[in-house]
Amino acid sequence: MKQISVFIENEKGELAAVTKLLADNCVNLKALCIADSVDYGILRIATDEVDVAVNALVSGGYLVKVTDVLVVKTEDKAGSLAKIMAALGSEIDVEYAYAFTSSEPNVSLMVFRVGDNDKALAALRAAGINATL
């Protein structure tokens, strides 16, 4: 999956401006995560309209980066994340992760940014875990 990272100033109203810009361009957000520091924030979004979103954001003056991330489909129950992390083991560097719900009952989706997508994908699939890029 392609994830879009948007670098925004850490100021009141900035997140509202970004989400309005995306809404005005009919970009449906499937998932998001925001991390902040003193001066700026990084808004990470998943959408089916990657090209439209990137073009709108760049035209709006935002700095964006598109990254390949893993999506893991897992049961929505205690221990699911532990099973995923055990499959990734200590050999795969997890930079960050975030989760969102699925339209399927009892299913959660997790997004992982890892150091080596191919190695992580192989490890997850070997453990019987449903993962895609």
Domain ranges of the chain: 2-67, 70-132
Determine the CATH number of domain 70-132. Answer: 3.30.70.260
- Looking at residue 37, what is its pLDDT? 79
The token pair that represents 122 in the structure block: 């192989």
Strand-pair category, 130-132 with 70-75: antiparallel
Amino acid 39 reads: D
- State how far Cα 114 lies from the chain centre: 11
- CA–CA gap between residue 49 and residue 127 (Å, rounded): 31
pTM confidence score? 0.89
Q: What fold characterizes domain 2-67?
A: VC0802-like (3.30.2130)
- Looking at residue 69, what is its pLDDT? 97
- Looking at residue 68, what is its pLDDT? 96
- Looking at residue 100, what is its pLDDT? 87
**Residue 50: closest CA among 8, 16, 5, 3:** 3
The structure tokens 């890892």 sit at 114
Which residues of the chain fall short of a pLDDT of 70? none
